[in-house]
Amino acid sequence: MQTGGTTIGRIAMARPDKAAAVAELTDRFRESNAAVLTEYRGLTVAQLKRLRKALGGNATYAVVKNTLTAIAAKEAGLTGLDDALKGPSAIAFVTGDPVEAAKGLRDFAKANPALVIKGGVLDGRALTAAEVTKLADLESREVLLAKAAGAMKAKLYQAAYVFTANTAQAARVIDALRQKQESEGAAA
């Protein structure tokens, strides 16, 4: 349509329900520590229910539309997810320990080969499926913290031993000299 030398075209308007879905996905991306994208084709409703239960309070699992997810990811400042957003997709939004969620998804995928891990995002950086698997192979945050604390405790004990070793050795030498002088004084 032309009016006064200018062309007026149809302006695309988003439907309110789609705009709300994009806003919700954007918020979920921003609020979560990590997100793991999966393909769920071939899983039954009962299997998806078990997966959600396996993730527990650590993550929420939602089936998503790829185009809306791509828009939400861009709005949240995430890049590199476009390749993973092909085929039927679902996302595990991780609010707890990302290692625990990745382990839960990996273990469920081993038991149910229909679940395919396609990739993810951790701290704003896109991850490949292989990187998500590597993340799942890590020990949990609590175990790593316990190991670090144990290593620090061992170093402190080692340092304390080094600091007291010379003092203890000097005390033994002084005691030996004292005993020698006493024995020489008694003999004379």
Tokens of 45: 């409703």
Global pTM value: 0.64
The DSSP call for residue 34 is E
Tens-digit pLDDT profile for the chain (188 aa)? 444 444 454 445 468 888 888 888 888 888 888 889 988 888 888 888 888 888 877 788 888 888 888 888 888 888 878 778 888 888 989 888 888 888 888 888 888 888 888 888 888 888 888 888 888 777 766 777 787 787 787 777 777 777 777 777 878 888 888 888 888 877 66
**How are strands ordered across the β-sheet holding 89-94?**
59-64, 89-94, 34-39, 116-122, 125-128
Tokens of 149: 């604390």
Q: CATH number of the domain at 17-138, please?
A: 3.30.70.1730
Domain boundaries, the chain: 17-138, 140-187
